[in-house]
Each structure stands twice: as structure tokens, then as C-alpha cells.
């Protein structure tokens, strides 16, 4: 089986496993883009996960205006459609929060974190094929959690018991992803993702070196003061990318 085929198989298994979980209040809505946006996610894996990678970047979970719409990690719509060349039909989650509709590639909202991350890679590498020749971007958790108000709730805010069940599935998938891609480096996009990489990597037969970059979220004051320069500096200082 190809590298892409193995990752598709792993993603399908993860999607089925997390669909069996149940979450309590204040979580009222749970979206699984690996299910309703599978065609786009599969296209992402087919095009850009076709070989082992030197570097794997890892995010926490889908954003409501990114992967929740496009099925691609940090999937800011313009970046996925115009830079990666991916545009697929996207179904609806059931149930769907009235304040957080899934409109797929018709969505007019922009995911700032995704715009920053993919814009950074596009500026440095140009064509997506040049970036993905050695790099890949994935997410730790495939689910989006929302409160009744529509407020996003991140996986680290779940109850201890629910988090433990979810983490067990996501840890196993992350280990599988790293085994398939065999990276030299695993880069957490933010502290949460780095902690998950550290927890999983030590149990692998050939563990990657783990580091992190600042998360590009607009909720981070540091990210709003020149995120791209900070991320570049961190990658170069760690040795992931060469300076210059």
C-alpha cells in the first residue's frame, strides 16, 4: 500500500473511532470533518502525502472556519482552493449548529491561523509541491467542539474522563502517522501539539526530534506581533530549517 493509502486508512479508522465517543455539557455540538468533508481530506492526502517526510507539523484540532469547512488541517479556504488546488463537495454535519454552518468552499469567513500558516509556507516555498516534498501538516484531534452559544471549545478543556478516551484514540493515530511518514522532525504548532508529540514520539522505534513553533492564532498577542518572523526564527534555531 502507498504512503497516502496507509494514511487514508488510518484517518478512516480514527474517524470511525471518535464517532463512537459521547461528550457532556458544555459541549453541545461535535463536528467530524473526516466524515462530512472526507473527499477533500482524501484529496489532500493523495496529492501531498505520497512519500515519507522530513518534517511533520502538528496542530491541535480543526478550526470552525478552516478544516471544519475544507477537511484540510489549518484549511483556510483560499489557501486550500487557490494554493493547493483542492476544491471538493462538502456535506453537512448532523446536527449542525445554526451559528456555525458548514458551507464548504462557499464559506466567506477566513481562518486567520490557517491563513498565516499556509501563507508563510507559500511565501517561503512558492509552489505547494516544493513545500510538501519534505513537509506535511496534520492535526492531533479531528473533532470540532462547540458550546450551545456557538463558542469553540478546545480538546484540552474537555472533562478528564472524556479527554482520556479521546486522547487514547488520537495518540494511537498520531503514532501511526509518524510511523508511516518517518519524519526526522515533528513540530508542534503551539504548546499543546508539542506536548502530544513528546508523549507519543518516545514510544516509537525511530522517534523524530520534537520542537515547536508559536501558534498563529489571533488570540495570541505574540502571534499578532509578527508571527511569521517568530516561526522562522524558531525553526532555524531548532535546526529544522537552515538559516539564510
Q: Evaluate whether residue 174 is within a structural domain.
A: yes
Average pLDDT over the chain, rounded to an integer: 96
Q: Evaluate whether residue 244 is within a structural domain.
A: no
Rounded to two decimals, what is the model's pTM?
A: 0.97
pLDDT in the model for residue 11: 98
% of the chain surpassing 70 pLDDT: 100
Give per-residue pLDDT as tens, 90-111. Answer: 999 999 999 999 999 999 999 9
Q: Evaluate whether residue 43 is within a structural domain.
A: yes
Q: Evaluate whether residue 183 is within a structural domain.
A: yes
Q: Which of 27, 216, 229 is nearest to 124 (CA)?
A: 229
| Domain count across the chain | 1
Q: Evaluate whether residue 119 is within a structural domain.
A: yes
On the question of pLDDT at 244 being above 80, the answer is no
Give per-residue pLDDT as tens, 100-144. Answer: 999 999 999 999 999 999 999 999 999 999 999 999 999 999 999
Q: What is the mean pLDDT of residues 64-74?
A: 97
Q: Evaluate whether residue 32 is within a structural domain.
A: yes
Query: In which domain, by residue range, is 69 found?
Result: 3-238
Q: What is the mean pLDDT of residues 149-165?
A: 95
Q: Evaluate whether residue 243 is within a structural domain.
A: no
Q: Evaluate whether residue 195 is within a structural domain.
A: yes
- CATH code of residue 196: 3.40.470.10
Amino acid at each position: 500500500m502507498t504512503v497516502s493509502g496507509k494514511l487514508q486508512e488510518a484517518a478512516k479508522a480514527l474517524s470511525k473511532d471518535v464517532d463512537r465517543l459521547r461528550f457532556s455539557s458544555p459541549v453541545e455540538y461535535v463536528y467530524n470533518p473526516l466524515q462530512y468533508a472526507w473527499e477533500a481530506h482524501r484529496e489532500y492526502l493523495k496529492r501531498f502525502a505520497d512519500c515519507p517526510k522530513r518534517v511533520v507539523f502538528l496542530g491541535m484540532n480543526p478550526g470552525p472556519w478552516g478544516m471544519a469547512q475544507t477537511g484540510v488541517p489549518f484549511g483556510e479556504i483560499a489557501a486550500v482552493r487557490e494554493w493547493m488546488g483542492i476544491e471538493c463537495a462538502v456535506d453537512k454535519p448532523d446536527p449542525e449548529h445554526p451559528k456555525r454552518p458548514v458551507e464548504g468552499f462557499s464559506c466567506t469567513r477566513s481562518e486567520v491561523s490557517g491563513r498565516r500558516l499556509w501563507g508563510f509556507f507559500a511565501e517561503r516555498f512558492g509552489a505547494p509541491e516544493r513545500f510538501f516534498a519534505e513537509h506535511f501538516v496534520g492535526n492531533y484531534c479531528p473533532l470540532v467542539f462547540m458550546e450551545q452559544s456557538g463558542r469553540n471549545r478546545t480538546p484540552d478543556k474537555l472533562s478528564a474522563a472524556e479527554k482520556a478516551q479521546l486522547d487514547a484514540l488520537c495518540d494511537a493515530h498520531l503514532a501511526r502517522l509518524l510511523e508511516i511518514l518517518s519524519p526526522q522532525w515533528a513540530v508542534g504548532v503551539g504548546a499543546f501539539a508539542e506536548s502530544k508529540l513528546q508523549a507519543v514520539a518516545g514510544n516509537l522505534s525511530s522517534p523524530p526530534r520534537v520542537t515547536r513553533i508559536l501558534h498563529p492564532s489571533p488570540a495570541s498577542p505574540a502571534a499578532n506581533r509578527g508571527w511569521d518572523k517568530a516561526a522562522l526564527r524558531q525553526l532555524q534555531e531548532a535546526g529544522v530549517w537552515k538559516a539564510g
